[in-house]
């Protein structure tokens, strides 16, 4: 009996010591919003400690950082951002938190789409020029930031994330590359499935309406025309003229369905539906995942859900 006791003590002390050591080895990663959080966790697995700033069903365009976010940024090794002005809050947060993290803009290298200023391209300043100025520190810029809505671009994002993790944690590089390759194969299949589903929608029914211009990449990649009363950021509000223009476009192009979004107020689309007589075909997940119990709790589920919802309402 006397020999058992020291052994038990020794084992206990080893396990106590080993816990903080393994926690320290983890790469501390901050993802700006939920879709990047999913990509990061697919690539990083349990080698990373992940914090996502803008959570499920939340809108990154208008997010207001919480006091805890600054502390999260300060201790991060890597901050993953979409970039292109998608996260209006992030530059200020990075500055105020004195973060020493490497900030990776994962949309770098993706195939980008130049945005119309407000989704309709009209000249609200009346001087014949389009403007991309930062009058209130927010984004009204020139490139549509929603590049993640095309699967080929998502594959670029994932590759960029794997490279960033390899640079920061060389010992884990083989794991990151293997995880990224396995996930990339799933994205490849996803891309093929979306192409087939959208191709089955008759040409004349491929114009659909959403709340804000979040789906231009999806439309360009898979062959849909998407119209919206609000531009590429939800912080803009639709004017009566914007809505009247949209109603005219809907009639001209014989739009087949109107969709709400998980991050946008439904009131405007209900008004457009009432004015045009086109029914609301459910809600699409635009700039955020659903919560864990929802139908879009990861990126692949989100894209499958959106595709099925569009194919169901537009295709019939
Ligand atoms: Zn958006």
Q: How far apart are CA 110 and CA 62, in angstroms?
A: 24
Q: Is the pLDDT of residue 33 over 60?
A: yes
Q: Is the pLDDT of residue 297 over 80?
A: yes
DSSP symbols for 164-223:
HHHHH-GGGHHHHHHHHHHHHHHHHHHHHHHHHHHHTS-GGG-EEE-SBS--HHHHHHHT
> Taking the model in full, what pTM does it have?
0.85
Q: Is the pLDDT of residue 118 over 50?
A: no
Q: Tell me, in angstroms, the distance from the centre of ligand 1 to residue 287's CA.
A: 5
What's the confidence (pLDDT) of residue 117? 52
> Can you tell me whether residue 279 is helix, strand or coil?
coil
Q: Is the pLDDT of residue 134 over 90?
A: no
Q: Is the pLDDT of residue 252 over 60?
A: yes
Q: Which of 168-182, 237-251, 286-300 is predicted least confidently?
A: 237-251
> pLDDT class for 316, splitting at 50, 70, 90?
confident
> Can you tell me whether residue 128 is helix, strand or coil?
coil
pLDDT tens digits, one per residue of 39-91: 999 999 999 999 999 999 999 999 999 999 999 999 999 999 999 999 999 98
Return the residue matching tokens 């799933």.
186
Query: In the predicted model, what is the mean pLDDT of residues 94-106?
Result: 88
Q: Is the pLDDT of residue 265 over 50?
A: yes
Mean pLDDT of the chain: 86
Q: Tell me, in angstroms, the distance from the centre of ligand 1 to residue 278's CA.
A: 23
> Can you tell me whether residue 224 is helix, strand or coil?
coil
Q: How far apart are CA 113 and CA 110, in angstroms?
A: 10
What's the confidence (pLDDT) of residue 141? 59
Q: Tell me, in angstroms, the distance from the centre of ligand 1 to residue 129's CA.
A: 24
What's the confidence (pLDDT) of residue 257? 94
Nearest to 87 by CA among 40, 146, 28, 47: 146
Query: In the predicted model, what is the mean pLDDT of residues 13-40?
Result: 75
Q: Which two tokens stand for residue 231?
A: 């531009």
pLDDT tens digits, one per residue of 196-206: 999 999 999 99
Q: Tell me, in angstroms, the distance from the centre of ligand 1 to residue 9's CA.
A: 56
Q: Tell me, in angstroms, the distance from the centre of ligand 1 to residue 231's CA.
A: 8
What's the confidence (pLDDT) of residue 219? 97
Q: Tell me, in angstroms, the distance from the centre of ligand 1 to residue 172's CA.
A: 33
> pLDDT class for 100, splitting at 50, 70, 90?
confident
CA distances from 247 to 6, 152, 185, 252, 265 (A): 80, 32, 41, 9, 18
DSSP symbols for 58-122:
--GGG----HHHHHHHHH-SEEEE--TTS-TTHHHHHHHHT--SEEEETTTTS--EEPPSSSS--
Question: Which residues are registered as beta bridge partners of 105?
Answer: 81
Q: Tell me, in angstroms, the distance from the centre of ligand 1 to residue 286's CA.
A: 7
């Amino acid at each position: 009996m006397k020999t058992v006791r020291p052994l038990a003590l020794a084992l206990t002390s080893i396990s106590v010591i080993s816990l903080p050591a393994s926690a320290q080895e983890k790469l501390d990663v901050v993802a700006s919003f939920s879709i990047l959080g999913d990509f990061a966790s697919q690539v990083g697995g349990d080698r990373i400690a992940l914090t996502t700033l803008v959570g499920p069903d939340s809108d990154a365009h208008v997010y207001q950082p919480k006091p805890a976010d600054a502390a999260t940024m300060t201790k991060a090794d890597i901050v993953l951002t979409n970039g292109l002005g998608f996260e209006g809050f992030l530059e200020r947060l990075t500055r105020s938190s004195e973060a020493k993290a490497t900030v990776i803009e994962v949309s770098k290298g993706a195939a980008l789409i130049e945005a119309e200023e407000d989704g309709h391209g009209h000249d609200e300043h009346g001087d014949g020029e389009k403007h991309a100025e930062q009058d209130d520190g927010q984004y009204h810029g020139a490139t549509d930031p929603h590049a993640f809505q095309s699967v080929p671009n998502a594959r670029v994002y994932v590759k960029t994330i794997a490279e960033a993790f390899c640079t920061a944690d060389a010992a884990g590089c083989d794991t990151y590359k293997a995880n990224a390759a396995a996930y990339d194969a799933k994205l490849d299949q996803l891309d093929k499935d979306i192409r087939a589903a959208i191709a089955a929608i008759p040409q004349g029914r491929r114009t659909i309406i959403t709340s804000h211009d979040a789906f231009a990449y999806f439309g360009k990649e898979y062959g849909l025309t998407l119209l919206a009363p609000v531009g590429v950021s939800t912080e803009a509000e639709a004017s009566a003229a914007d809505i009247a223009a949209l109603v005219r476009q809907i009639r001209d192009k014989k739009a087949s369905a109107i969709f709400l979004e998980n991050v946008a107020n439904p009131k405007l689309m209900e008004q457009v539906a009432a004015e045009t007589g086109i029914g609301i075909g459910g809600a699409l997940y635009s700039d955020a995942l659903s919560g864990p119990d929802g139908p879009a709790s990861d990126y692949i589920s989100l894209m499958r859900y959106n595709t099925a919802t569009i194919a169901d309402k537009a295709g019939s």
